Chains A and B, each alone.
Chain A
Amino acid sequence: MTQYGFFYDATRCTGCKTCELACKDYKDLPVDFSFRHVYEVEGGSWQQDDAGFWTTDSYTYYLSMSCNHCDEPACTHACPTGAMHKDTDTGIVSVDKAKCIGCGYCAMACPYDAPTVSKEIGHSAKCNGCAERVAAGMQPICVEACSGRALFFAPIDELPSGEGRADIAPLPAEDFTGPNLYLKKCVSMQPVATDVAISNILEVM
């Protein structure tokens, strides 16, 4: 099986959120609903030394992320009907709307906040890697819209070289689900389990 995945170059991302909005526009999503989020991650502190000088180790970085089409998706494991499934040819995880009962277990289980379920839409919905565009030889709309060329989508062995799978805060350790999100880290990025804050919570939740 070919496994598709995303590559995110954090050294190029400016946090403009064009990827997020292009996805919302292309997928015709409502205002309060998004398949891709750009997280503004920050942390650190200020310290004053004995001489009265202040220094800081504060940092901030962006993380653009949608579904990571994991090797062992928590959502497909939890789904009772098999509506949430992993394509055997591409490894893309998507929802069979006809099978979905909208129980919300996929949304509960996913540690990347990828699926959303509501009575308004009537089923689980999430990023499907723009499968129809990829099948037609194009890139997902978020990748195509990125003005900084910070996003890529391809079979994982064809992605640019970086530092491996996403294993940075505030994400969980990669061994929970094996996310197919690969990174080129910026210097600010913090390791998994670092106590970071997300400064745009109202925007991404």
Chain B
Amino acid sequence: MATAFHELPLALFTTLASIGAGAFISLAAAFFTAKFSDGQLARIDKLTLVPAIVVVVGFIAAFFHLANPMAAFGVFGGLGRSPMSNELAVAMLFAVAMATYVIMGLAGKLGGARKGLVCATAVLAVLFAVFMGLAYGMATIPTWSTPWPVAQMIGYALLGGAAMGACVLAFSDALDAAVDGTFKSALIAFAVIGAVLAVAGLALMYSGAGSVSNAFVAGTDLAAGASGAFYVAVACLVLACAAVIAAALGKGGNAASAIAVILAFAGILAGRFVFYALQISVGISF
């Protein structure tokens, strides 16, 4: 687990970015399936600043990972070649769409552009999650060079985003109106599909690590060291899913969605620690 704690800034980045970005997926579904009053829309637009801030805090955390952040403007130099450049390029596209949407919402100028903008932001949020997963697709690290990291990140964005989206709607006094229609099913679907992808992706990577080893370390030892974090992640992700379902069913009031966000954060962060703890090379490094 020492490797995992060394990557704390990246663990925070991928956790916060997936939750914050994922919220726009749920919000997009809400705007396409529910009717809100002008007052509710104004409150939702104000509180949409929260997931945006969560994403920004994630980006700031990522900078703490760098030994020389002053050169960070060069990160797009590897576009098309480097998985990290690709990830950050998609991240920037998402950030621009998100900022445009949030600023226009705060200014009360979304009007007829609301659905188009939130839909574009949601699509870019999904792409952002996919590219966060692809960022670690290194052939020399067999535990990471699988589809499971991508499944995990999409799952985290759907589940964490469902929790954060429900929270934004709940504290805007708009969740009851939203879950009155088909958004209830959409929110539950996001949470369940997200939890399944996240837990299955994590479990398959965790179990697969046992078959990998090099001269320095055995995957079974790494998995054993990360077992505590693995079980915390699975438990928190399942409970977060349950809390989102409770919120979607109108049970638990605002507290259910707030608890869902806290559980999703804890589960995703623990899952990210497991991910980094299972780094094992085909060669002579960890």
Q: Report which A residues bind B (CB closer than 8 A).
A: 39, 41, 74, 77-83, 98-105, 107-113, 117-119, 121-123, 169-173, 176-177, 195-198, 201, 205
Given contacts A39-B284, A113-B284, contact A170 B214 (CB under 8 A): yes
Chain B residues near A107 (CB-CB < 8 A): 285
Q: For the complex, would chain A's binding face be called helix, strand, loop or mixed by DSSP majority?
A: loop
Total contacts A-B at CB 8 Å: 116
Chain B residues near A177 (CB-CB < 8 A): 140
Q: Report which B residues bind A (CB closer than 8 A).
A: 65-69, 71-72, 74-78, 81-85, 88, 138-141, 213-216, 279, 281-285
Q: How far is the CA of A101 from the CA of B69 in the complex (A)?
A: 6
In the assembled complex, 30 residue pairs joining A and B whose CB atoms fall closer than 8 Å, in A order, are: A39-B284, A74-B138, A74-B139, A74-B140, A78-B83, A79-B78, A80-B74, A81-B85, A83-B71, A83-B74, A99-B71, A100-B67, A101-B74, A103-B65, A104-B67, A105-B84, A109-B141, A111-B283, A112-B285, A113-B283, A113-B285, A123-B67, A123-B68, A170-B214, A170-B283, A172-B140, A172-B281, A176-B140, A198-B215, A198-B216
Chain A residues near B85 (CB-CB < 8 A): 80-81
User: Which of A108, A117, A123, A172 is packed against the most chain B CB atoms within 10 Å?
Assistant: A108
Residue of A nearest to B69 (CB): A101
Beta-carbon contact of B215 and A172 below 8 Å: no
| Chain A proximity of B234: nearest CB distance (Å) | 25
Given contacts A99-B77, A105-B84, A110-B140, contact A176 B71 (CB under 8 A): no
Beta-carbon contact of B67 and A176 below 8 Å: no
Residue of B nearest to A118 (CB): B67
Beta-carbon contact of B140 and A80 below 8 Å: no
Beta-carbon contact of A171 and B283 below 8 Å: yes
Residue of A nearest to B139 (CB): A176
Given contacts A111-B140, A117-B67, A198-B216, contact A78 B84 (CB under 8 A): yes
Beta-carbon contact of A101 and B71 below 8 Å: yes
Q: How far is the CA of A91 from the CA of B75 in the complex (A)?
A: 23
Residue of A nearest to B83 (CB): A78
Beta-carbon contact of B72 and A101 below 8 Å: yes
Beta-carbon contact of A79 and B82 below 8 Å: yes
Residue of A nearest to B276 (CB): A108
